[in-house]
Chains A and B, each alone.
Chain A
């Protein structure tokens, strides 16, 4: 068993569990960040000797994460103002 891949995969699965069990939109955003983060780490440790040029995608994905957080926090602000709760099931 490879400890690196195991722990990264487990982190990814736990972040999916957070989406499943928590009803708060803040937890939802945090779990998306953790999922992206763990997959980026898996990408970085598994890129191989010949795949140096593909590390450009690391920067693209970081840009996507930053954009997604900006949009997510705006949605959270709207949700709290309309429903007075961060629970998206209300």
Chain B
């Protein structure tokens, strides 16, 4: 499991050094798959499924369908000095992350109870209603942003 956790920053770093958007999207897909598996491993399968359905089924597919429509040209290859700076800053960030992670003590969650969570989501905190209103506002906003073109 710890090895899988280490794959998360590696896949994010691969996005950072990739020059083509299609390859970056593939690494993004890997990152999401790893995250989904990690949720299963920390005994939280509901959140894992939510991540896989929402991110890979929704957001990533939206990216993949939209990008060919836009006909974005590939980025020009980065110069050597920029790649050097990227590695150097990442090295500093690793140092900062190691020191920060020493400060926190992990509080492991209890085992996930889906029935209890469903009651919290529907009865106690009006989760679905709030999210549906938020998504409706987002849909109207997105429509208004692209409306003039059609």
Chain A residues packing against B (C-beta within 8 Å): 1-11, 13-15, 17-18, 21-22, 24, 26-27, 29-31, 33-34, 37-38, 40-41, 44-49, 51-53, 55-56, 58-60, 62-71, 73-78, 80-81, 85-86
Contact = CB atoms under 8 A, between A and B. Distances in A.
B32 A37 contact: yes
Interface in B11-70: 12-13, 15-16, 21, 24-25, 28, 31-32, 35, 38-39, 42, 44, 47, 50-51, 54-55, 58-59, 62-63, 66-67, 70
A67 B138 contact: yes
A2 B25 CA distance: 29
A86 B70 contact: yes
A51 B51 CA distance: 20
Interface of B: 2, 5-6, 8-9, 12-13, 15-16, 21, 24-25, 28, 31-32, 35, 38-39, 42, 44, 47, 50-51, 54-55, 58-59, 62-63, 66-67, 70, 72-73, 75, 82, 85-86, 89-90, 93-94, 96-98, 100-102, 104-110, 113, 116-117, 120-121, 124-125, 127, 130-131, 134-135, 137-139, 141-143, 145-146, 149
A63 B131 contact: yes
